A and B are shown apart, each in its own frame.
Chain A
């Protein structure tokens, strides 16, 4: 078990470009979460998957953001037409069914110039 992995670890892009982040959760975990974290703040919930179904999206997630989890395995988070305010660390986490520990990836840091 290699834990939750995220790719890329760091992305620098120009305003207006599209970016996509990938998360590979722990294989037996059917719950997957995306969070956004800015400097000095705690993680803010973006969206949640149970298997391949996206069950909840935060109001923070504008129309420019889309997330998928095809086949209930890896997940992608795409940001279209990036803005400077999108600069943040994007964290992926997964857990098993039942109330339990969230396992986090190391995050994907986005810098929008």
Chain B
């Protein structure tokens, strides 16, 4: 069964510093997508960054980048120059197609990121 594990329930980072959030997943599929979503307090979840499994190059979106290690089934998120607005729950998600033709997302349990001024 596909699973997504986020082993860090909570992380803290000083403003302007860099932090890395970890995510590992388990799958036997070769074709899938990985996402990081951000959920600010009492606000809706929004996409931070995505990675297609067939791409070797790590995705980057401004201050956000990933370290995708397909063989190790690892997908970490690096936030550079952390800002107060980065404080939120971060969820790693795995997206794949099933044999029945549907598409599913599996989410991790989340990492709460605190940004210290």
Contacts and interface: CB of A to CB of B under 8 A. Distances in A.
Given A43-B91, A99-B95, A104 B45 contact: yes
Interface residues of A, number: 24
A107 interface: yes
Interface stretch (B11-19, B62-70, B79-87, B98-106): B98-106
B33 A42 contact: no
B102 A42 contact: no
A106 interface: yes
A56 B100 contact: yes
A101 B46 CA distance: 9
A31 B100 CA distance: 15
A42 B103 contact: no
A58 B47 CA distance: 24
B46 A42 contact: no
A21 to B, nearest CB: 15
Contacts of B100: 55-56
Interface in A22-64: 31, 33, 35, 40-45, 48, 50, 55-56
| Shortest 7 CB-CB contacts between residues of A and residues of B | A42-B107, A104-B45, A106-B44, A101-B47, A56-B102, A55-B102, A104-B44
Given A42-B110, A43-B45, A99-B103, 15 more contacts: A35-B107, A41-B110, A42-B6, A42-B91, A42-B109, A43-B107, A45-B104, A45-B106, A48-B103, A48-B104, A56-B98, A99-B33, A102-B105, A105-B44, A106-B44
